[in-house]
Every structure is written in structure tokens, then in C-alpha cells.
Amino acid sequence: MGDLSNKLEQIRAIKNGKGIQYILDAAYKILGNPALIFDMDYKLIACPDGVVNDDPIWIEFMAYGRLGNETIEFFKNEGFIESVANCTNFDGVTYLISNKLKYDRIFGQLNNNSQISVADLVAVACDKPFDDDIPVLIKALCDILSKELGKSDYYQNYGQTYQENIIKNLIEGGIEDKGIYTGHVANIDKGLKTNIYVAVARIAQSDSTDPKLVYFRELFKQTQPDFKYSIYVNYIVFFISSDNTMLNIEKDLKKLIEIFDKNNIYVGISSNFENLFESQRHYIEAVNALNHGLNSNNKQRIFLHDGR
């Protein structure tokens, strides 16, 4: 226990502001095993300086700067992607252990300032077996690295782009292999309540190239940060959520209504669902609700799929 609190203190004492390379170098000395970080596209971001080992996946990262499709497929088949998706909603760290891996590893997620997962940390037990307290230490290390990444505008933008791509794939129904996407979709699901709705907002006279859409997306996000936003076609598409199967607009969208009214923004909202893999159908519902609502000329601003 003394050893744990000592190591935990050492990790928490790693100075922020010196960059992720510095943190990983310092962490290597404390943990006794190396850890690297890679982004959501499996591209290597950083690893401790001068580490050489015989772990095939580590070597793949060093040689190509990213993981290949074969390794990602292996991750899927071994249930690692699923483990990562599961830890997203619980501890944020998970072991990746298999007799097909040369060394055990432990995985943690790194978030940007908007709490979007932008990178993964993996520590590899190639120098010594993991101690029992390793999850606590990795969690602490992830917190420090997340703070460091949070300082970077790049990772703020990267997180937004990453999230938009996943939302785009969901509403286009483009996810053929759920197994590969489980972790990514779990990142979208994170923080959403039981009942999900797709909403589409039409900003007057703007198309997908109009900077107004970006401006309003950011405004929506600042106003209601727990929803998930994207720009798609000529709309701002967003996943909203509620504890109730019947959306209470005044309560659930309270903060956004004022912006809609002030800026002449019309919104269509789908029926409720829980399974994000069904987003495409609900996106179509939301667009139809918006179009029917606008054609009906009934002076409303928010149109629900069921016509309320």
C-alpha cells in the first residue's frame, strides 16, 4: 500500500507543461514498464525515449508509426475493442491479456478538454509483470496526460473532427463492421442518457460551406455540452438525450431554445431510441419532421417526429 501511494504521488508530481514526451519518460521510470500513446486512428503520438523491446505490436508502432488493419482486426477478434468500449463507461482503464500477445498490457483513455476521447495509452509489461495496483497508476497517468493534451488546440480540433466522422458514419449507416466501431461509438454514447434523439437544425440560408454552421455548432456546444454535435449536409446534426421516452422540449432543450428563437433556427427531432447503430433511420425521421414542419407553416420552431 505504501509503495502504491508513493508511486501515485510520484505520478501526480510529474510536471505538466513539459509535453507528453516528458510525462511518458518520467512514467517509465516510475512504472518500470514503457507506455505509449496513439490517437483514435491508431497513429502513434508519443513513446518514451530510446525504448527498444521485442513486443511485436510495439515494434509495429515504431516501424510504421501506426497499427495496420491486420492488428486492428486481431484486436477486434480478441475482444480488445469491446473491452475498451466497456471501460469507456466505467473505470476508463482495462487489461488487454491474451495468450496470443507476447506481453500483457493495460489500456487507458485520454480525453481533450471537451471530454472527447482523443488518444489511448497502452502500458506493456515487457520489462516486468504488472503489479496489482497498476490500474490506479494508469488512471492517474491518463489524467495527467489528458490535462496535457487539453492544452493543445490541435487535440481540441482533432476530437471534434473525430466525433463528427463517427456521427457521419452513424447517420449514413456506413458502419458495416460493428466490432471494429464498438469503441468509437461508445465514445459518442458516453454521457448520453437512456433515450437518444437525433435533432437537425437548419440555419437560415446556409449550406455546408457556410462558416455560420461552425459558429452555431460551437455556440450549441458551449450552451449544452452534454449533447454530441456534427455538421452534416446543410444541417447541424446533434444527438440529444433524456431520461424520458417523451421528450420535454422546455426542460430537455431549455438552454438551446433561446438560441433557436433569437437566430431564426428551425429544428426537427426524431423519435427516441437507444441503439446508436440505428441512427440513420432516426436522422431521416428528424429531417422529415423538419421539412413537414416547415411546409405546414404552423409558426413552430421545433418539430417532433410524432407531430407534437
Partner 1 sequence: MPGNLKKEDLKIHKTKKALMAALSILLERQKFAQITVGGLCKEARISRVTFYTHFTDKYDLLIHWLENTKTEIINNAVSYEVIENNINNFVACNSKIIKNLLGDANNETTELLCNFLLSSLHIINDKTNNGQINPQYVVLSKFYGGGLMNYIKWQIENKFPEDLQMMNSYLYSIMLTMLKWME
Is the CB of 57 or the CB of 144 nearer to partner 1?
A: 57
- The distance of closest approach from Cβ of residue 86 to partner 1 in the complex, given in angstroms and rounded to an integer, is 5
- CB distance 197 to 240 below 8 Å: yes
Binding site for partner 1 (CB under 8 A): 77-79, 82, 85-86, 88-90, 178-179, 182, 185-186, 189, 194, 274-277
- The distance of closest approach from Cβ of residue 89 to partner 1 in the complex, given in angstroms and rounded to an integer, is 4
- The distance of closest approach from Cβ of residue 209 to partner 1 in the complex, given in angstroms and rounded to an integer, is 32
CA dihedral 17, 141, 119, 75 (to 10 degrees): 160
Query: How far, CA to CA in Å, does 91 sit from each of 123, 137, 194, 220?
Result: 16, 12, 20, 29
Is the CB of 71 or the CB of 86 nearer to partner 1?
A: 86
Give per-residue burial for 236-246: e unless 16+ CB within 10 Å, then b: bbbbbbbeeee
First vs last C-alpha separation in the chain = 59
- The distance of closest approach from Cβ of residue 107 to partner 1 in the complex, given in angstroms and rounded to an integer, is 14
Packing angle of the helix pair 134-150, 2-12 (nearest 10 deg)? 10
- The distance of closest approach from Cβ of residue 1 to partner 1 in the complex, given in angstroms and rounded to an integer, is 25
- The distance of closest approach from Cβ of residue 90 to partner 1 in the complex, given in angstroms and rounded to an integer, is 6
User: Burial, 144: exposed, middle or buried (Cβ in 10 Å; 0-12, 13-18, 19+)?
Assistant: buried
Is the CB of 78 or the CB of 210 nearer to partner 1?
A: 78
CA atoms within 13 A on the CB side of 124: 21
- CB distance 121 to 138 below 8 Å: yes
Is the CB of 127 or the CB of 226 nearer to partner 1?
A: 226
Is the CB of 138 or the CB of 166 nearer to partner 1?
A: 166
Is the CB of 193 or the CB of 308 nearer to partner 1?
A: 193
